[in-house]
């Protein structure tokens, strides 16, 4: 059902995440003839030595083996699988989605978020204390409040670079804090501080960042774009309802945004292979219905 838009393929659905939820959803969409692309990387399930509570494996199965078999299974039905990291998801005026990865940009009529549970990516003293009071996770949502102010962006890779471009429309006074990481992208003409951060300090609101060497810098705000972007990060930017870091979905795994679905650990308080597979199935079937109803 996919078609070419200029040189580019318009996918019927792009699935972000190749764990049990994403792969199960693609089984349904690909077998129904939807042009399906799955983008993802390593799943934590691979660390599972023996999965003993999943239906049908009487002697258990390693997480790694389950992942390998799942991918093999969907490739049989024509699913494209790409190992890449999604750094941004945009909803366009035409009602379709643009998915930006480290290496490319893809278009889709519908998107499934299936990036697993939100891992705490960075541990810095007091970071939680200042959430919403100087510490933010979404430049699109909160960057506006820092117009012309001095801001730090916590990150070191393509995801942070994408957020930097967004932040620059609000203020030119942005520094990059890598918290000890070497930057892996070219941030251009911008201050980059690679020192390890000891803590964030302030009274009610964030005041300064204190480094391990005892020195400090004052900032009005810090935006966190560290490591890999999660489904919750994408969802926040699009105005999706989130409870904590769990994406709000209805019984069809639909979010409150048209054409955007979520399944698996990112949208569930029960984090198991069986639930991820079940939700992936529901999402896949409802995406088929959604794309067919679009009629374009």
Ligand X SMILES: Cc1cc2nc3c(=O)[nH]c(=O)nc-3n(C[C@H](O)[C@H](O)[C@H](O)COP(=O)(O)OP(=O)(O)OC[C@H]3O[C@@H](n4cnc5c(N)ncnc54)[C@H](O)[C@@H]3O)c2cc1C
| Site residues for ligand X per CB under 6 A | 16-22, 39-45, 47-48, 51, 53-54, 85-86, 114-116, 228-230, 264-265, 271-274, 276
Closest CB 112 distance from ligand X, rounded Å = 10
Whole-angstrom Cα Rg for the chain: 20
Distance, CA of 137 to CA of 130 (rounded, Å): 12
**CB 187 → ligand X: shortest distance, Å?**
20
- Look at residues 179, 168, 86 and name the one whose alpha carbon lies nearest to residue 124: 179
Distances, alpha carbon 49 to alpha carbons 40, 61, 271, in Å? 21, 8, 17
CB of 139 to ligand X, least distance (A): 16
CA 215, CA 6: separation in Å to the nearest integer? 53
Nearer to ligand X, 174 or 263 (CB): 263
Strand partners, 113: 16, 262
H or E element that contains 154: strand 151-154
Which is closer to ligand X, CB of 45 or CB of 210? 45
Smaller CB distance to ligand X: residue 87 or 197?
87
**Beta carbon of residue 191, minimum distance to ligand X (angstroms, whole number):** 26
C-beta of 269: minimal distance to ligand X in Å? 11
Shortest separation between residue 56's beta carbon and ligand X, angstroms: 13
Nearer to ligand X, 98 or 150 (CB): 98
The answer to whether 209 and 226 have CB atoms below 8 angstroms apart is: no
- The stretches of the chain forming alpha helices (DSSP H) are 20-31, 63-75, 139-142, 158-167, 231-238, 273-294
Beta-bridged to residue 100, according to DSSP, are 88, 105
Among residues 18 and 286, whose Cβ is nearest to ligand X?
18
Looking at the Cβ atoms of 129 and 271, the one nearer to ligand X is 271
Q: Which residue has the tokens 């939680």?
A: 128
d(C-alpha 171, C-alpha 244), whole Å: 28
């Amino acid at each position: 059902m996919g078609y070419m838009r200029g040189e580019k393929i318009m996918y019927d659905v792009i699935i972000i995440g190749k764990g049990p939820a994403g792969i199960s959803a693609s089984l349904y969409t690909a077998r129904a003839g939807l042009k399906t692309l799955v983008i993802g990387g390593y799943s934590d399930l691979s660390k599972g030595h023996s999965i003993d509570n999943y239906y049908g494996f009487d002697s258990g199965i390693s997480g790694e083996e389950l992942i390998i078999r799942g991918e093999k299974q969907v490739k049989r039905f024509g699913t494209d699988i790409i190992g890449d990291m999604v750094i941004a998801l945009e909803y366009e005026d035409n009602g379709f989605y643009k998915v930006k990865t480290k290496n490319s940009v893809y278009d889709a009529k519908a998107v499934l978020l299936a990036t697993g549970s939100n891992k705490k990516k960075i541990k810095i003293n007091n970071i939680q204390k200042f959430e919403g009071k100087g510490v933010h996770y979404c430049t699109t949502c909160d960057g506006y409040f820092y117009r012309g102010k001095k801001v730090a962006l916590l990150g070191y890779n393509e995801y942070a670079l994408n957020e930097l471009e967004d932040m620059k429309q609000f203020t030119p006074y942005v520094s990059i804090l890598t918290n000890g990481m070497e930057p892996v992208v070219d941030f251009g003409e911008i201050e980059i501080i690679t020192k390890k951060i000891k803590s964030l300090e302030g009274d009610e609101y964030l005041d300064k960042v204190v480094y391990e060497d005892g020195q400090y810098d004052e900032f009005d705000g810090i935006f966190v774009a560290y490591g890999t972007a999660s489904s919750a990060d994408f969802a926040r930017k699009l105005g999706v309802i989130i409870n904590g870091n769990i994406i709000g979905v209805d019984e069809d795994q639909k979010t409150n945004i048209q054409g955007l679905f979520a399944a698996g650990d990112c949208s569930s308080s029960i984090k198991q292979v069986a639930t991820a597979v079940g939700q992936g199935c529901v999402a896949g079937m409802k995406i088929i219905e959604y794309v067919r109803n679009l009629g374009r």
